[in-house]
Amino acid sequence: MNRSISRNAIKKISDYLYEIPASFREDMKVPARIFVSEKMLEKALSDNSLWQLVNVATLPGIQKYALAMADIHQGYGFPIGGIAAVDIANEGAISPGGIGYDINCGIRLLASNNFFEEVKPKIKDVAFSIFNAVPSGTGKGGAISLKTKELEKVLQKGARYLLEKGYGIKSDIEFCEEKGAFENVDFTQVSSKAKKRGQEQIGTLGSGNHFLEIQIVDEIFDEKAAAILGLEKNQVTIMIHCGSRGLGHQVCTDYVHEILSKQDEWGYNLVDRQLACAPFNSIEGQNYLQAMKAAANFAWANRHMITHRVREVWQSVFGPDCKISTVYDVSHNIGKCEFYEIDGKRKELFVHRKGATRAFGPNHKDIPLEYRPIGQPVLIPGDMGTASYVLLGTQKSIDESFGSICHGAGRAMSRTKAKKQTKGFLLRQELEEKGITVCCNSDRGLAEEAPIAYKNIDEVINVVTGAKLAKKVARLKPIAVIKGD
DNA sequence: ATGTCC
């Protein structure tokens, strides 16, 4: 099978948009489009990610385009940094690979009411206290332990259940996508094996690229919007990047297995088995949807509990009057039912976002009232030790990319390659020399996430803002990195 | 991403 795609097959539409026409391969139902610069397109051609994007264009019921952003790289079946929307009423298919193994992996940004000068002298103290209060690393649990019935409440009510139990504050929920939970979720679609894996993992960070950073607001691009989001220059923020841990992973594993066994039954003959999908309206499709929603609720509860722990630590270090508030929480691995205009008709689509962040423009009803005039905050982490961005979604993103943009810098090399090319202890030293406190038990874990293993975040951001899918509000710079091994 | 292979 030829998986390489030649540059000649790709048509330039504008400086930030390229297209592989639907005529490129006979099984494509729609064109594949990638929001990218010429320079970054070269990177995308170096792995199988564009072949995967072409495969996505064959998905039953896919509408308009198979889309990818500049942070595209190879994933399970679907590329990471990709978006696919299918018509629910007209043979649309739901695919676990289009959402990813880490269901509702996402970013939460917290704002403290402290400034850099106040935090600087105590940075090691506060960073290591958070490192101790938020368990991290592969397979790690131990923040709290939930009984089966309690875990089931988390699956049904997400972060809202934890708020009822006395963890966190009401505004944490109000400034979270979906207000911290999908409603009316049938949690019985989550296997007992998945539930068991989740019981010890609420309030834990995980490993890989998951992290918690203490940051300062380094630059403001839009003073008015920043004020509405409660951000000022030199203010200290905390960014949490994690997902649904072993529970979400098990949900994906369970349903990929089930759905794979029925491809023939549904008359699907997909070019890559990793694209395995189910008719959206089939029993299996609906069961996966429910399990996916339950796992998403688990992830929101997870970030909510971490927020609670950070707040406790912050107040113990800087005093009880210090405030930690949730600026926003947004997923970048999720599937959602949303309405879009297709050929002049309003249609309900199921939008797969895999390593892609929702970026709704102003006045959308799903944005908190306070933010509605400016648009939805979009939180984009950079690679370790560089910078992260706060952006706002635009109407153009709704019109051109199903209300979505990128999710981060995107990997430029595999974890194994990164480990070979990097000395973890040197990287630790470099970060410390840049004034960044590093809380990580293993140098190997650091090496996997080395900046050279990632694309340049500024370039990725320039593409989405250049294409006017989002607007810049602020740039955040890390002063402490907390991560698992 | 992930009890990094039931």
What is the residue whose two structure tokens read 């998951």?
A210
Residue A414 CA to nucleotide B2 C1', Å? Answer: 16
Query: Residue A61 contacts by C-beta under 8 Å, 6 or more apart in sequence?
Result: A86, A87, A88, A90, A91, A92, A93, A280
What pLDDT is recorded for position A1? 63
| pLDDT tens-digit map of A390-400 | 999 999 999 99
Q: Alpha-carbon distance A414 to A179, whole Å?
A: 35
Over the stretch A317-350, which tens digit does the pLDDT of each residue have? 999 999 999 999 999 999 999 999 999 999 999 9
A249 tagged catalytic: no
Nearest nt (C1') from A105 Cα: B1
* A57's tokens: 């264009």
Which protein residue has its CA closest to C1' of B1? A102
- Closest nucleotide to A244 by C1' from CA: B1
Nucleotide nearest to A80 (CA to C1'): B1
Distance A388 CA to B6 C1' (A): 40
Residues whose CB is below 7 A of strand B? A 76, 101-102, 105, 138-139, 193, 196-197, 201, 206-210, 242-243, 245-246, 249-250, 415, 449, 484-485
In angstroms, how far is B2 C1' from A343 CA? 41
Which residue's CA shows the smallest distance to C1' of B4? A138
- Nucleotides of strand B under 7 angstroms from a protein beta carbon: 1-4
- In chain A, which residues have pLDDT < 70? 1
Q: Residue A165: which residues within 8 A CB-CB, separation 6 or more? A: none
Nucleotide in closest CA–C1' contact with A140: B3
Distance from residue A96's CA to nucleotide B6's C1', rounded to whole Å: 22
Q: Pick out the nucleotide with least CA–C1' distance to A448.
A: B4
Residue A257 CA, nucleotide B6 C1', distance (Å): 14
Q: Do you know the residue count of chain A?
A: 485
Query: pTM here?
Result: 0.98
Q: How high is the pLDDT of residue A142?
A: 82
A35 CA from B2 C1′ (Å): 29
Q: Catalytic: which of A249, A304, A352, A407?
A: A407
> B1 C1' – A107 CA distance, angstroms?
15
User: How many Å from the CA of A138 to C1' of B6?
Assistant: 19
Only one residue has tokens 């593409």, namely A463
